Chains A and B, each alone.
Chain A
Amino acid sequence: MATGVDQAVGMSLVVFSLLLFTYYSVWVIILPFVESNHVLHKYFLPREYSVILPGIAAVILLLCIGAFTAVIMWKNRKPKKVD
């Protein structure tokens, strides 16, 4: 078994993704069937955010990938040799 930090990081990733999946599932699938004056609605943002927030996260992810690629390509540029 991997030890120490590896196990902690791995398990925290698993727990985080489980929490995210459960919250998002309840938000998208279960909430429409719950009547609007139930107390459960207090814990969830308005439904528009269930589309906007993943959209923003996708844009940020693409920006990070693009920035990383740009930095790597900038560092690896070689000036052309003049014969």
Chain B
Amino acid sequence: MTKLLQWLFGVAVVLAVWALVSFDLLDLSLPRPYREAAWPMPLYLLVSLGCYSLATVGYRVATFNDCEEAAKELQEQIKEAREDLRKKGLKM
């Protein structure tokens, strides 16, 4: 069985359980608050995935490092390259 089929099978099982609980397909008569909390579950998981992604992006933006020495080294190398090309006749 390929990975895709395994994932689809897992998703189908989860969806089946959700449908059974939300729409009461087996007439199990679960208490009302549980059914009310269960039926927006797919949307809730999507919203929490979105929140997690947003928080991860925000955190990594806030903790991104500046590299001072690498920036200076790069400027030095740009100067050297410019000098070198000027000596070889390239007009800037």
Contacts and interface: CB of A to CB of B under 8 A. Distances in A.
Contacts of B36: 32, 47
B89 interface: no
A2 to B, nearest CB: 5
A45 to B, nearest CB: 13
A60 B65 CA distance: 33
Interface string B35-57: 01100100110111001101101
Interface of B: 32-34, 36-37, 40, 43-44, 46-48, 51-52, 54-55, 57-66
15 contacts: A2-B64, A13-B57, A13-B58, A14-B55, A14-B62, A16-B54, A17-B58, A20-B47, A24-B47, A28-B40, A29-B37, A29-B44, A51-B40, A51-B43, A54-B47
Nearest to B64: A2
B7 to A, nearest CB: 23
Given A2-B64, A7-B62, A17-B52, 15 more contacts: A1-B63, A2-B63, A9-B58, A9-B62, A10-B61, A13-B55, A14-B58, A14-B62, A21-B52, A24-B48, A25-B44, A29-B37, A32-B37, A33-B33, A50-B43
